Copies of this chain bind each other. A is one copy, B any other.
Amino acid sequence: MSTTLTYPHRIAFSVEVAIALPHRATTEAAGGGEPSPIMEPHFPDRNDGDDLIELLFFAYRDFVADPDRILAEYGFGRAHHRVLHFVDRYPGLTIAELLDILRITKQSLNRVLKDLIEQGYIAQRTGTNDRRQRLLFCTDLGIRFAEELSRVQMRRVARALVDQPRRGANDDPGEALASAQGFLLAMIEPEERAVVTRLMARRAKAAA
């Protein structure tokens, strides 16, 4: 069986220019007299940066539109999805951890969490180490719902890696995956990157 990869849309705008400056220039080594400015990376052509900013907007717009359609059928919103997703993927998450992930207030979280608990998608258990904590878990119903929502987003992401226009010899979707993960991770606030990787490592560990 022969298969063909199709690249339906090639990028029309210029991508040839590179970032001129590294994150920090090591000018300190040169001499002692000059002040040591932190060199900011920048785009030689502003349009490149703007294109990326806009593409992120468009990508996210369509990325959330998929689950939104399903959520509407259930009478839930995006906020419910986010909670369900993280509880599904990180069983035993505490309220405090969830608040730090979502960056919302306790009151905002509680509203949607209460909906999900009352309707049987999420269950709470008192922490064993610390009985003040409420550990969050998905019920079977919750797992199935999370799965259904995940499916459409997974499909879009997988398709993106396949459809993604290829540059030169870099023709491997595994490369595309690593590349996309690297870029998105680097978009996260630097001090927060370790927090995110640690969170995700937790999942990898649980699977093993």
A residues at B contact (CB < 8 Å): 1-6, 8-9, 11-19, 21-27, 29-30, 40-43, 46-63, 65, 82, 85, 89, 103, 150, 153-167, 170, 172-190, 192-194, 196-197, 200-201, 203-204, 207
Contacts and interface: CB of A to CB of B under 8 A. Distances in A.
**A interface secondary structure, majority:** helix
Contact of A1 (B27, B50, B54, B58): B27
A30 B176 CA distance: 30
Contact of A157 (B25, B49, B59, B158): B49
A88 to B, nearest CB: 9
B174 A18 contact: yes
A196 B157 contact: no
11 contacts: A6-B23, A9-B186, A9-B193, A11-B182, A15-B178, A19-B161, A41-B159, A49-B150, A56-B63, A164-B183, A176-B183
